[in-house]
């Protein structure tokens, strides 16, 4: 099955938790939601001013978060495609996004060398994770939601306490 419809490179992909839908984020500034079985386009999410670099479904499949090089992330209703929140606060493009396992928080990683934690329901910024010396290219929550891991162009990964933003560990084995 080939999903065709974007007019630029597809930079990020994710399955919905039930496996019935796929979201794709593209250099064409849009995200698309597809029916996984047939490849039919269900929604086109428009609102970013630059390329979408990262996409994720919420754990319940009801929301999608998109991160963009326009310095914002957007939260969308996965059924209607309506924009629910625009997450603003990064000083440079966002390269990675992820939901917490309970769906209550979102983490974003940016070229501004930080990661930010947001309240998913309101879009309110909760924490800024500072400590990397280059772009934050990857972000993820631990399965229990108590820790966040960030990966950076500075050749390190860092583990953070999700509730406080306190740095717990730096992984430096990459050179």
pLDDT (tens digit per residue) in 101-148? 999 999 999 999 999 999 999 999 999 999 999 999 999 999 999 999
Mean pLDDT, residues 155-165: 97
Q: What was the pLDDT predicted at 37?
A: 96
Which residue do the tokens 């978060």 mark? 65
- Distance between CA 28 and CA 30 in Å, rounded? 6
Mean pLDDT of the chain: 97
Mean pLDDT, residues 40-64: 98
Instruction: Measure the CA angle with vertex 139, ends 137 and 142; round to 5°.
Output: 155
> Other CB atoms closer than 10 Å to residue 8's CB: what's the count?
12
Residue 23 pLDDT exceeds 70: yes
Integer angstrom CA distances of residue 54 from 31, 99, 136, 139: 9, 12, 13, 10
| Alpha carbon 160 to its chain's center | 17
pLDDT-derived band of residue 173, with 50, 70 and 90 as boundaries? confident
pLDDT, one tens digit per residue, over 60-101 is 999 999 999 999 999 999 999 999 999 999 999 999 999 999
Mean pLDDT, residues 3-13: 97
Q: What was the pLDDT predicted at 174?
A: 63
- Distance between CA 40 and CA 20 in Å, rounded? 11
pLDDT above 70 covers a percentage of the chain that reads 99
Contact 92, 83 (CB under 8 A): no
- CA atoms lying within 13 Å on the CB side of residue 79: 3
Residue 11 pLDDT exceeds 70: yes
Q: What was the pLDDT predicted at 165?
A: 98
Indicate the pTM of the whole model.
Answer: 0.96
pLDDT, one tens digit per residue, over 147-159 is 999 999 999 999 9
- Distance between CA 126 and CA 34 in Å, rounded? 32
Element of type H or E holding 66? strand 63-68
């Amino acid at each position: 099955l080939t999903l065709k419809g974007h007019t630029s490179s597809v930079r990020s992909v994710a399955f919905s938790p039930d496996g019935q839908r796929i979201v794709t984020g593209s250099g064409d500034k849009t995200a698309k939601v597809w029916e996984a079985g047939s490849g039919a386009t269900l929604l086109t999410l428009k609102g970013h001013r630059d390329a979408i670099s990262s996409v994720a479904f919420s754990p319940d499949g009801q929301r999608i978060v998109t991160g963009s090089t326009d310095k914002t992330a957007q939260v969308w209703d996965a059924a209607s495609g309506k924009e629910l929140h625009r997450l603003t606060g990064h000083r440079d493009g966002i390269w990675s996004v992820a939901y917490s396992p309970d769906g209550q928080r979102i983490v974003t990683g940016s070229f501004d060398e930080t990661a930010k934690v947001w309240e998913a329901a309101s879009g309110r910024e909760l924490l800024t994770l500072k400590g990397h010396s280059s772009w934050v290219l990857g972000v993820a929550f631990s399965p229990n939601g108590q820790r966040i891991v960030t990966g950076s162009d500075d050749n390190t990964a860092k583990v953070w306490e999700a509730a406080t933003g306190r740095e717990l560990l730096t992984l430096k084995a990459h050179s």
